Amino acid sequence: MFLEERQAKILEMLERDGKVLVKELAEIFSVTEDSIRKDLSSLELDGKLKRTYGGAVSIEEKLQMTEAQRRRISDVEAKRKIATAVVKLITPQDLIYLDISTISIAVAQILEKTDANYKILTNMIDVLVMLARNPKINLFFAGGQINQSRDGFSDVLNLEFISNFRPDISFIGSSGVDIKKNSLTTRNAADGIQKARMIEFSKTAYVIAESRKIGVEGTYRFATLDKVTGIITETKLSENLSAMAEKLGVKIVSAE
């Protein structure tokens, strides 16, 4: 059976049963469990299912989806490109911080298959679940009281724990990146305070954002853009915006 046929069958089973298990699928299709995990990872990246421990559930189970899980099925290709650019910037020697962002999920989907001994610090649940599957990842998780989106932690307890770390490189999500106003914004103040602190504590920090967020303002300004090393986005920015960023000392990393 071809790969595409097997994945189509998996989706049929999900539509019928609402969930599938890796072990059962491996037996049904006479392939390894690792092959099935790769199938599920690919289908999840395409927004067709949600992986769980030991299997997957239908993406139609919307009542059980977190806000992050709903956001992750939008701009899939842009996030994939940005995640690829992120991975090119990291090395196993670094302590890497992955912030609460659906782009961080796309990064985790790449790293969970790696053979390298990366050191990852995160406060995002989906990133924790994915990377905990890879025994070669040295993983630090900052917990506390779960946020309103139920996708991670950005409270006082979390901040106290995470403030003890000094990441070599951090990747910070942002709801809005306004180059003209030298502003980085998010929707939630507690989340913004945590992002600002990690920028302060990191040796190098990049904002990760789809190009549609450039020029947008969220409700809480957590940092000025000139506090970060650069912006990673999926496409080239206009010459005007690129020149403004350069004046601020901010590098534009285009995934194109």
* 251 three-class SS: strand
Same domain, 189 and 78: yes
Q: Rounded mean pLDDT of 96-121?
A: 94
- Provide the percentage of residues in the chain whose pLDDT is more than 70: 93
Nearest to 121 by CA among 131, 106, 134: 131
Provide the domain count of the chain. 2
Q: Rounded mean pLDDT of 155-172?
A: 92
Same domain, 93 and 9: no
Q: Rounded mean pLDDT of 33-53?
A: 87
Query: What pLDDT score was predicted for residue 63?
Result: 39
Same domain, 195 and 74: yes
Same domain, 123 and 212: yes
Query: What pLDDT score was predicted for residue 49?
Result: 87
Q: Pick the range with the lowest mean pLDDT from 104-108, 149-153, 244-248.
A: 149-153
Same domain, 95 and 169: yes
Same domain, 45 and 79: no
Distance (Å, whole) CA 115 – CA 228: 29
Same domain, 174 and 232: yes
| Residue 202, domain CATH | 3.40.50.1360
Same domain, 82 and 7: no
Boundary of a domain, candidates 31, 63, 95? 63
Residues constituting the chain: 256
| Residue 49, domain CATH | 1.10.10.10
- H-run or E-run covering 194: helix 189-201
Cα dihedral value 51, 56, 57, 60, nearest 10: 50
Boundary of a domain, candidates 38, 63, 88? 63
| CB contact set of 9 (below 8 Å; sequence gap of 6+) | 1, 29
Encode burial over 174-208: b for 16+ CB neighbours within 10 A, e otherwise. bbbbbbeebbbbbebebbbbbbbbbbebbeebbbb
Same domain, 245 and 150: yes
Q: Which domain holds residue 41?
A: 3-63
When the pLDDT of each residue in the chain is averaged and rounded to a whole number, the result is 89
Same domain, 143 and 23: no
Rounded to two decimals, the pTM is 0.74
Same domain, 118 and 211: yes
Reported confidence tier of residue 74, pLDDT bands at 50, 70, 90:
low
Boundary of a domain, candidates 48, 63, 78? 63
What 8-state DSSP symbol labels residue 236?
P
Same domain, 159 and 94: yes
